[in-house]
Structure 1
Amino acid sequence: MIFILTGLLCAVIIIAGFNTSPQPGDPSGKAALGEKLFFDPLLSKDRSLSCSSCHIPQFGFADTIAFSKGIHHTPTKRNTPGITNLSGRPNYFWDGRAATLEDQALQPIINPDEMGLPIEEAVQRLNENESYRLYFQQVFNSPATGKNILQAIAAFERTLETANSPYDRYIAGDDNALSPPAIRGRLLFIGKANCNNCHSGEDFTADRFKNIGLYNGTSLKDAGRFEATKDSTHRGFFKVPGLRNVAVTAPYMHNGMFKTLKEVIAYYNEPNHIVQDGINRDLSLNKPLNLSNEEMNDLEAFLVALTDDRFKIAHH
């Protein structure tokens, strides 16, 4: 019971940090309504799961297991990614099959193995609920519709932007914001380790798709981007995730195969030692990085420093 109450308190504290109640930044109230929907199990077929069941606030809105469980306890096909800093991204999901946050919000709701609720049934439930009926009328001047349900959830997700990490303070001029290992790790990130070849920009993603060798057609069968485009050159390609808050979103990769950041770094350091038969792997990974143990520790320290302060309670 203490554990449950502590978890709920963490969620309340973290959500409070996003300030999604109607305010100057949300004059229409769409984000506040979307927040309510995000945490409401009413949007699952058996009313047992909400969006937040898999996108857990204190863990960067990711899950803590490799594959989340849907309403029938069926594992998801891929690892649940964190959903902070998604505003303005050109595509969503590991295979990029959704072009907008609204489309992204729809798919887990209607997926029979996830929340399993047809959108028409979601509309009916919300309009039969007096509280929601009044809320939608207030915000959209209309009853709930498939379109405005998704607009509200997407509006909430767009508020989940984070820019208050030790790294941000360091970039802003606070030389003491990063530890010496993290400072060394930053230089490795943009230098010897070549991480910014894929993880570039403000949110540390180039918004591209890469094949890092985690597809071999046998033990690693998920063909990634290919399943969305049917373009054979896309086999084994997955969306490059942003790295903000990465320290609290373990496990990692589309299949959750790495439990720690150290394991991820070890893979990039010497990919052939872990997956020897990856098909069509990016050529930039053909040579070992030759990072020492100390350098790998420094690189990890930098990645941890990308964590927004509101998630510190979960990380420690």
Structure 2
Amino acid sequence: MPPKKMIFILLGVLCLYAILAGFRTGNSDPPTKAQLGEKLFFEPLLSKDLSISCASCHQPSHGFADTAAFSLGIHHTPTKRNTPGITNLSGRPSYFWDGRAPTLEAQALQPIINPDEMGLPIEEAVQRLNANDSYRHLFEQVFNGPATATNITQALAAYEKTLETADSPYDRYIAGDENALTATAKRGRLLFIGKANCNNCHSGEDFTADRFKNIGLYNGTTLPDPGRYEATKDSTHKGFFKVPGLRNVAVTAPYMHNGMFKTLREVIVYYNNPNIVVPDGIGRDLSLNKPLNLSEQEIQDLEAFLVALTDDRFAQRP
């Protein structure tokens, strides 16, 4: 057989082998940092008793929030605050209700080591992952070395950064589709930026000014959580909490740091006149002292607009 023909046959066999190898592994490309982070996000190995994962509290079908006022950690221990949704967190200047984490990587570490949540010392998490053949191989592929405290949180943060959403009826309306919003939602949008003054705090692309506000849900007794004060120890910060973004807010009930409002309507009714719902709130922002005087129809319109901020991946379908 001519040498040139043998070379072609050999190359053909090598190509076929490569294709079959790709089919066997399911993916011939090495995993990305975000793909490793996604696997870790759903991994109960990162909890002390192997019972929960990050996704147990940050449920994908609910905008990566929880449906309970307080999530249950290991040993069914309730968390101290409501689990917020974690979509659209890229580039935020601080994390958690009290803003104690300055980066997404720092945020990713806290639920793992918190004794009331996943309860696993990070040193033990590193040992577990490096003792696991699959994870040892994955970390070698992604980070060219074993799992460490640093690259575990880097991978988790990389996955969380992929949870950006911008495909809602509102986004299509802004892009020029006049039919993307209902007439009710259009009226609600005008209320949001007008009479209701919602964009005073919920501004920008993700509907948050990334500030901390006291909206009157702290009274030192029945509502004892001092919020940002716990992170700063500044007495002027008592009752201050991070203003959350509103994208996908319709699927992240219940609401507020303590989950005290079960529906969007309850939230709007509160803002309509906080003095009625919590008359003894300490240090409430002065902008909330005057009732909005929204009518029943306006409350419905505003709720319709908030629902229109729901990305299609979370929208309820028949």
Whether contact under 8 Å (1:22, 1:29) holds in the other structure is: no
Question: Which of 249, 255, 261 is the aligned partner of 2:252?
Answer: 249
**SS of the counterpart of 1:170?**
helix
Partner of residue 208, structure 1: 211
1:155-304 alignment runs, 5 A limit: 155-304=158-307
Task: Quote the residue 1:30 is aligned against.
Answer: 33
- Answer yes or no: is the 8 Å Cα contact 2:173–2:179 preserved in 1: yes
Q: CA deviation at 1:72?
A: 1.4
Tell me the C-alpha RMSD between the 2 structures.
1.5
Identity %: 81
Which residue is equivalent to 1:121? Answer: 124
Cα distance, 1:313 vs structure 2: 3.0
Please list the CA deviations of residues 177-223 of structure 1 after superposition, one character each: whole Å capped at 9, or x if unmatched. 00000000000000000000000000000000000000001110000
**Structure 2 counterpart of 1:111:** 114
Larger-Rg structure: 2
Gaps of 5+ in 1: 1-20
Q: CA deviation at 1:23?
A: 11
Cα distance in 2 between the residues matched to 1:28 and 1:46: 28
2:28 and 2:44 mapped to 1: Cα distance?
Answer: 25
TM value normalised by structure 2: 0.90
1:307 to 292, 306, 310: 310
Query: Aligned letter for 2:120?
Result: L
Question: Which whole-Å CA distance do the structure 2 matches of 1:172 and 1:296 have between them?
Answer: 26
Describe the shift of the 1:145–1:22 C-alpha distance in structure 2 as closer, same or farther (beyond 3 A).
farther
Kept in 2, the 8 Å contact 1:22–1:32? The answer is: no
Poorly superposed stretches of 4+, deviation over 3 Å: 21-24
For 1:16, the equivalent position in structure 2 comes to none
Deviation digits for residues 131-155 of structure 1 (CA, Å, limit 9, x no counterpart): 0000000000000000000000000
- Give the Å deviation of 1:28: 6.5
Alpha-carbon shift at residue 234 of structure 1 (Å): 0.3
TM-score by length of structure 1 reads 0.91
1:93 partnered with 2:133: no
Query: C-alpha displacement at 1:22, in angstroms?
Result: 8.9
- Does residue 55 (structure 1) correspond to residue 58 (structure 2)? The answer is yes
Take 1:269 and 1:256, find their aligned partners in 2: how far apart are those partners? 18
C-alpha separation in 1, matches of 2:28 and 2:131: 27
Q: Does the residue aligned with 2:299 lie in a helix, a strand or coil?
A: helix
C-alpha distance in structure 2 between counterparts of 1:286 and 1:313, whole Å: 36
Residues in 1 aligned to 2:223 and 2:28: alpha-carbon distance in whole angstroms: 47
Letter in 1 for 2:109: L
Count of equivalent residues: 293
SS in 1 for 2:315: helix
Which of the residues 132, 144, 148 maps onto 2:147?
144
Counterpart of 1:219 in structure 2: which amino acid? T
Secondary structure (helix, strand or coil) at the match of 1:125 reads helix
Gap runs ≥5 in structure 2: 1-25
SS in 2 for 1:202: coil
Amino acid at match of 1:299: L
Distance 1:310 1:23, change over 3 A: farther
Q: Tell me the amino acid that sits aligned with residue 248 of structure 2.
A: N
What is the CA distance between 1:268 and its match in structure 2?
A: 0.1
Structure 2 residue identity aligned to 1:73: H
Q: CA separation in 1, counterparts of 2:187 and 2:94?
A: 32
1:131 to 109, 129, 134: 134
Q: Distance in 2 between matches of 1:103 and 1:226?
A: 19
Contact in 1 for aligned 2:31/2:138 (Cα 8 Å):
no
CA distance in 2, matches of 1:126, 1:168: 40
Q: Which whole-Å CA distance do the structure 1 matches of 2:28 and 2:271 have between them?
A: 44
The secondary structure found in structure 1 opposite 2:75 is coil
Q: Deviations over 1:234-253 (max 9, x none)?
A: 00000000000000000000
Per-residue deviation, residues 111-167 of structure 1 (Å, max 9, x unmatched)? 011000000000000000000000000000000000000000000000000000000
Query: Per the alignment, do residues 264 and 120 of structure 1 end up closer, same or farther by CA in structure 2, a change over 3 Å counting?
Result: same
